[in-house]
Amino acid sequence: MLYIVGTQKEAQKLKELLPEEVFVEVMGTAKIIDEAYGSERNIFESDGGYVCIVENDTDVAELNSKYEVDLYTTDPEYCTKLSNDWLNVLILCNNEFAITVLLSTQTAVSERFCDEL
């Protein structure tokens, strides 16, 4: 299931639904965004950005169709390997808005981001 998280309060709701390493990353990123841009912002329209948790190829398609984030064509600022099962992909949209994608290595698009899989 595709999850979109913009604040620590939203992230906390996913604690039991995500692997520990993914949850820790989501909380850390949400904390940084909350501190810099506020926790009451509109996560899609205000500065700051949000975090996407993409578990499978259906989520990849949904991210593209609903949120217009095409992981097959977008060039990330960076990609790091979070674990054997997860990548952390940072997409900068402008100076004040970023999308962090926590991407399962089980998705077809994950090979595009990391040669070490």
> What does the pLDDT average to over 81-102?
96
Task: List phi, psi (to 5°) of 16.
Answer: -85, -5
The domain limits of the chain are 3-108
Write down the H helix ranges in the chain: 8-12, 20-37, 57-67
**Model confidence, pTM:** 0.93
Place of tokens 């398609």: 61
With a cut of 50, say whether residue 60 has pLDDT above it: yes
With a cut of 80, say whether residue 99 has pLDDT above it: yes
Place of tokens 């040669």: 115
**Cα 100 from Cα 56, distance rounded (Å):** 16
